[in-house]
Amino acid sequence: MKTRQLGTSGLEVSALGLGCMGMSHGFGPAADTREMVKLIRTAVERGVTFFDTAEVYGPFTNERLVGEALEPLRDQVVIATKFGFNTTVPGTGGGLNSRPENIRAVAEASLKRLRTDRIDLFYQHRVDPSVPIEDVAGTVKDLIAEGKVKHFGLSEAGVQIIRRAHAVQPVTALQSEYSLFWREPEAEILPVLEELGIGFVPFSPLGRGFLTGKIDEHTEFDKTDFRNTLPRFNPENRKANQALVDLLGRIAHAKQATPAQVALAWLLAQKPWIAPIPGTTKLPRLEENLGAVDLELTAADLRHIEEAAAHITIQGERYSPAAQQMINR
């Protein structure tokens, strides 16, 4: 497995990480714990060193799963988790909460659930407009000084928030959605990250499964799958957006690869400090995703993708209006 540095922080991770949310939360019923422990440990055997979770996934159950799986392998891996939601109401985020006392409480609880003495990368899950980002960064800075946290991250933060936070405590990584299905970060975010030496961790690098080519307008999701609430995933938009999957399929055929591998290889080719975190609950999909690390897209391939994608207009918003309100831009 190839490795990458997240910006100039010195934090080295596998070129592809593993997003663990879907094992417990978001995409239907939780998967079998024993099977997911096995999957996570198999990922480590395959060279994955970067694992992503959050207290709100479940809530709490995903951190416990990751903690159980990685406890015997702790010194071989980088564990990222997140704070920033109220988790007082089971099964809901309960609203934003990045007050310093909550950040500290989450850190202590996450350490216990993750069965570890330090959190390698601690993200603010969503920007909380009621708490100055300087207070957030300062609290994490204190946790770093205490040895409980190693690195500070932000998620879905805008340019000014990134700059203000970074001035208090250097930001190691920004985690936001980025893929051929959602390219908004290219306009303002990526240049600022490059300027400041901050790494980028794209979540949903396969467009929540859409870019794998396994989903079409006839696909029916489990009633608890949150994709049912996303405008981009209504049947009409899925049908319209199939053009992007068809493009990936053509490239994949020429490369003797899969659409998912092409989508991930495209992301890896954008910047050397990008480390995507595709999620899966299936070993064959894990193996498929990891194959993207060795898939070389030439300059001509990348130009072809760029030129063809420019003629495809993605249909549908990526979040519902209520969810969109929690994203700072």
**Pairing relation of β-strands 199-203 and 171-177?**
parallel
Phi/psi of residue 284, nearest 5 degrees:
-60, -35
316 to each of 72, 229, 262, 297, how far by Cα in Å? 43, 12, 23, 28
Phi/psi of residue 288, nearest 5 degrees:
-60, -50
One-letter identity of residue 222:
D
pLDDT value for 89: 52
* Measured distance CA(158)–CA(188) in Å, rounded: 9
pLDDT digits (tens, 9 = 90+) for 103-146: 999 999 999 999 999 999 999 999 999 999 999 999 999 999 99
Which among 272, 125, 239, 249 has a CA at the least distance from the CA of 180? 249
Tokens 């094992």 belong to which residue?
23
Residue 129 near residue 158, CB atoms below 8 Å: no
pLDDT value for 88: 64
pLDDT value for 58: 94
Burial 60-97 (b: 16+ CB within 10 A, else e): bbbbbbbbbbbeeeeeebbbbbbbbbebeeeeebeebb
pLDDT digits (tens, 9 = 90+) for 208-228: 999 999 999 999 999 999 999
* Measured distance CA(216)–CA(235) in Å, rounded: 8
pLDDT value for 92: 46
- 123 catalytic? Reply is no
206 to each of 50, 247, 274, how far by Cα in Å? 17, 14, 14
Which uninterrupted H or E stretch holds 3? strand 3-5
pLDDT value for 329: 45
Which among 148, 91, 102 has a CA at the least distance from the CA of 125? 102
**pTM of structure:** 0.96
Q: Give the CB-side neighbour count of residue 305, counting CA atoms within 13 A.
A: 26
* Domains and their CATH numbers in the chain: 3-207+270-296 (3.20.20.100)
Residue 29 near residue 281, CB atoms below 8 Å: no
For helices 299-309 and 235-255, what crossing angle results, to 10°? 160
Q: Which residue ranges of the chain lie beneath pLDDT 70? A: 88-93, 328-329
Residue 200 near residue 172, CB atoms below 8 Å: no
Task: List, in sequence order, every beta strand (DSSP E) within 208-260.
Answer: none
pLDDT value for 328: 54
Residue 258 near residue 212, CB atoms below 8 Å: yes
pLDDT value for 324: 82
Query: Is 120 buried (19+), middle (13-18) or exposed (0-12) by CB count in 10 A?
Result: buried
Dihedral sign for Cα atoms in the order 165, 170, 176, 182 = positive
